[in-house]
């Protein structure tokens, strides 16, 4: 996990630095931090096996059980539209004074 944690910390540091550097130009910089998103990137057999090594041929339902354990809300993943809605909010006038923020769309995963 060191590579993932290091990369994420670097991105969040870059968001804060860019927000600071670009703010005089009226440019806002934010990050969206999703949990598992229901996309082909995660819905495939090799990831199912990674999360459920106890099963010979795990499927989507088996993966859902493991993915659910990451979140505190009762869902194994979020839908792509949930991430898109967060992006739309951050790009909207309603978020005009939000910059340098990290917005979790993570079903409470960060609270674990």
Q: What is the DSSP string of 63-88?
A: HHHHHHTT-SSS-S-B-HHHHHHHHH
Q: What are phi and psi of 103, to 5 degrees?
A: -100, 110
> Which residue among 2, 4, 25, 61 is the active-site one?
4
Examine the pLDDT at 112 and tell me if it is beyond 90: no
Q: What is the mean pLDDT of residues 13-32?
A: 98
Structure tokens at 54: 């106890």
Please state, in angstroms and rounded to a whole number, the distance separating the CA atoms of residues 27 and 11.
17
Q: What is the pLDDT of residue 27?
A: 98
Please state, in angstroms and rounded to a whole number, the distance separating the CA atoms of residues 21 and 102.
17
Query: Which domain, by its residues, includes 99?
Result: 2-111
48 catalytic? Reply is no
Examine the pLDDT at 1 and tell me if it is beyond 90: no
CATH code for position 21: 3.40.50.720
Domain count, the chain: 1
């Amino acid at each position: 996990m060191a590579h993932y944690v290091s990369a994420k910390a670097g991105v969040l540091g870059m968001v804060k630095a860019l927000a600071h550097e670009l703010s005089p130009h009226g440019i806002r910089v934010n990050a969206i931090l999703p949990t598992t998103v229901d996309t082909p990137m995660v819905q495939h057999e090799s990831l199912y096996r990674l999360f459920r090594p106890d099963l010979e041929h795990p499927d989507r339902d088996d993966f859902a059980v493991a993915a659910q354990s990451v979140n505190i809300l009762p869902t194994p993943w979020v839908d792509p539209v949930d991430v898109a809605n967060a992006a739309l909010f951050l790009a909207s006038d309603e978020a005009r004074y939000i910059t340098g923020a990290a917005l979790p769309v993570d079903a409470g995963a960060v609270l674990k």
